[in-house]
């Protein structure tokens, strides 16, 4: 019996380290209660989603890292239209599995003035069901050709990543809009975000 329990625990632990593949990640649906979280920003100050929602809706964006050209372009476009988004009363928050010091690198690359957060141990991405384990070829490309350094920039060496999804969360803590696509090239547009926010307001 003890051997069976030990085998079960070992398999469970290995599965956590392996992570789900990209086809298994479905992302939370519209109408779902958004998981609340606290996370550190670049200055190691703690951001609370629950507290932020008291002031207005939150646009929550998952991105892969400072090394990702598509992420840089996406966050850069959001920064360019940040004032328009904030005029709706919304706050923009972007989350990645990178440690706080690498959030600063992303801010430098994109000029991002909105909140960048460290998703330690992939807790936020896992709660929103956007976390996955890239394949061996993808890891090689990211680490060698894009210098991602996933083992050193993340909280562990598993090299998991989030699908770059966007969620709009209402003051009531409900997901009212989302953009979710396993193809990392496809991202939320400022136009669609603004339309969703104006519809909510």
We report the CATH number of the domain holding residue 114 as 3.40.30.10
**Mind listing the pLDDT tens digit of every residue in the chain (201 residues)?**
444 333 333 333 333 445 799 999 999 999 999 999 999 999 999 999 999 999 999 999 999 999 999 999 999 999 999 999 999 999 999 999 999 999 999 999 999 999 999 999 999 999 999 999 999 999 999 999 999 999 999 999 999 999 999 999 999 999 999 999 999 999 999 999 999 999 997
90 occurs within a structural domain? yes
8 occurs within a structural domain? no
- Euclidean distance between the first and final Cα of the chain, in Å? 58
2 occurs within a structural domain? no
Is residue 57 within 8 A of residue 85, CB to CB? The reply is no
Query: Minimal CA–CA distance to 98: which of 114, 124, 120?
Result: 120
191 occurs within a structural domain? yes
Distance (Å, rounded) from C-alpha 47 to C-alpha 18? 28
Residue 7: partners with Cβ closer than 8 Å, 6 or more residues away: none
The pLDDT value given to residue 18:
55
16 occurs within a structural domain? no
Instruction: Work out how many domains the chain is built from and give that number.
Output: 1
The pLDDT value given to residue 8:
33
Is residue 73 within 8 A of residue 96, CB to CB? The reply is no
The pLDDT value given to residue 85:
98
Domain containing residue 58:
21-200
Does this model's pTM top 0.85? yes
Distance of CA 177 to the CA centre of its chain: 15
Query: Minimal CA–CA distance to 62: which of 156, 194, 179?
Result: 179
3 occurs within a structural domain? no
Distance of CA 186 to the CA centre of its chain: 15
| Token output for 193 | 């975000």
194 occurs within a structural domain? yes
6 occurs within a structural domain? no
The pLDDT value given to residue 19:
79
Distance (Å, rounded) from C-alpha 167 to C-alpha 149? 27
């Amino acid at each position: 019996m003890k051997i069976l329990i030990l085998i079960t625990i070992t398999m469970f632990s290995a599965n956590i380290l392996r992570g789900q593949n990209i086809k298994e990640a479905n992302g939370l649906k519209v109408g779902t209660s958004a998981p609340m979280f606290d996370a550190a920003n670049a200055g190691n100050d703690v951001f609370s989603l629950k507290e932020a929602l008291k002031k207005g809706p939150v646009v929550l964006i998952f991105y892969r890292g400072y090394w990702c050209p598509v992420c840089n372009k996406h966050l850069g476009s959001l920064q360019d239209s940040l004032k328009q988004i904030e005029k709706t009363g919304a706050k923009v928050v972007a989350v990645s599995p990178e440690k706080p010091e690498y959030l600063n690198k992303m801010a430098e690359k994109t000029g991002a003035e909105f909140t960048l957060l460290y998703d330690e141990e992939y807790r936020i991405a896992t709660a929103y069901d956007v976390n996955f384990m890239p394949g061996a070829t993808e890891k090689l490309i990211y680490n060698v050709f894009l210098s991602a350094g996933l083992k050193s920039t993340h909280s562990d060496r598993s090299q998991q990543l989030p699908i770059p999804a966007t969620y709009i969360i209402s003051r009531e803590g409900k997901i009212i809009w989302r953009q979710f696509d396993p193809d990392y090239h496809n991202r939320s547009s400022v136009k669609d975000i603004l339309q969703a926010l104006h519809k909510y307001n």
